[in-house]
Amino acid sequence: MHQPQQHHWKTVKPLLRYLVGSITHGLQLTPSSSYSIKGFSDGDWGSNLDGRKYTIGYYVYLSNNIISWNSHKQKVVSRSNTEPNYRSIATVLFEIIWISSLLLNFIFLLLFQLFTQII
Amino acid sequence: MQQPPGLVSSNPAQVCKLSNAIYGLKQAPRSWFQKLSFTLNNMGFLATKSNHSLFTKYTNDITIFILKYVDDIIIIGSSSAAIASVISSLNKFFALKDLGSLYYFLGIEARWTSNSGLHLSQSKYIKELLEHANMHKAKPATYSNDVFLSPYSRFNNSL
C-alpha cells in the first residue's frame, strides 16, 4: 500500500488487536493411522452487497488433523447465492482430489522403489 | 554457441560475458531446482507427481521424505541415522547448514508435544508484526463482526 491513511489504520487496528489475543493459538496435530479425508466448505455472498463478489472458504481434515484450508474472495460477480455455495463445494473437491492423488503417489512410489530393489 | 563479435577472449570456451549475478537471473530458480532434483535423483530420491517439491525414498526398512521450499529443506525419515547420512551426502554437493530438529519453517513454529504430536503456531511471526506496528502492548480483542463490516453496512449504520 503506497499511502496508508487514517481510515485504513482504523480497519487494520482491530485485526492487530485480534492477533494480540490469539498470539498463542495454534494447530495441534496428532499421530493417526487413519486415512479418512473430510472436507468442509462454505460460500458467502450476502455480506458483500456493494461488490456482489463472493467469498469461498474450505478446510480439509486428514483423520483428526486439519491439513489444508483456504478462504478467498473471488474476482467474479455472482447473481445468485447458489453459485458461491456450489463453487465452494467444487473448490474443496479439487483440494481433496489433489490430496488423495498425493497419498496415492506415496503408495505407488513405495511399490515402485521396493520392486526395483528386488530386481 | 560461439563468441559474439566484439568479445575478446583467448579462451574459446568462454562464450558470453556474465554481467549479472547468477542469483538475479530469470533462469536462476529453474536451474537451482534442476540441480537440486538431479542431485536428489542420484541419491535415490523420486519426486512425487502431485508435488514436485516433495522427494521420497523408500528402502526395505527406511522411509525418507524431503520437502523443499526454494533453499529451505525439511527432511523427515523413519531413522535418524538415515537422515544424518542424507544430510552429509547433500553437504558434498551444497554448502548447507543443519538447523537440527524442526522448529521454524516459513514463518511457522513447530513444537513437539508430549503425545508425539506437533503444535504449529505463528507466535514469533505475529510478535514481530505487532512490534513493527507498535501494537504489542495493545489490549487484546476477541473476534468481532465489525472488523469485517463492508463499506455498505458501514454506510447503513450511519443512517
Q: Are residues A17 and B115, on separate chains, in Cβ contact within 8 Å?
A: no
- The residue range of the domain holding A96 is 34-118
Whether this prediction's pTM lies above 0.95 is answered by no
Q: Do B59 and A110 touch (CB under 8 A)?
A: no
Match 522411509 to its residue by C-alpha cell.
B63
d(CA B45, CA B65): 9
Residue type, A108: F
Q: Which residue has the cell 481510515?
A: A7
Q: Is B34 on the interface with A (CB under 8 A)?
A: no
A112: in domain = yes
- Rounded to a whole number, what is the distance in Å from the CA of B67 to chain A's nearest CA? 13
* Residue A70 within any structural domain of the chain: yes
A-chain CB neighbours of B109 within 8 Å are: 26
B105 min Cα distance to partner chain A (Å): 14
All residues of chain A having their beta carbon less than 8 Å from the beta carbon of residue B139 are 17, 20
Q: Write down the ipTM of this complex.
A: 0.75
Residue B65: its H or E element: strand B63-69
User: A115: pLDDT confidence band, cut at 50, 70 and 90?
Assistant: confident
Residue A18: inside a domain, yes or no? Answer: no
- Total structural domains within chain A: 1
Does the pLDDT at position A63 exceed 80?
A: yes
Whether the per-residue pLDDT at B127 is higher than 90: the answer is yes
Q: What is the pLDDT of residues B31-79, one digit of tens each?
A: 888 999 999 999 989 888 888 899 998 887 888 999 999 888 999 998 8
Q: Indicate the pLDDT class of residue B136, thresholds 50, 70 and 90.
A: confident
Distance CA A92, CA A98 (A): 10
Is residue A96 one of the residues assigned to a domain?
Answer: yes
Whether A22 is in a domain gets the answer no
Q: What pLDDT score was predicted for residue B158?
A: 44
Is residue A28 one of the residues assigned to a domain? no
Higher pLDDT, B71 or A57: A57
The residue among B131, B149, B127 whose CA lies nearest residue A10 is B149
**What's the gap in Å between the CA of B49 and the closest CA on chain A?**
7
Where is pLDDT greater, at A21 or B144? A21
Q: Which of B125, B144, B154 is nearest to A17 (CA)?
A: B144
Residues of B in contact with A44 (CB under 8 A): none
Residue A5 falls inside a structural domain: no
The values of phi and psi at residue B110, to 5°, are -120, 130
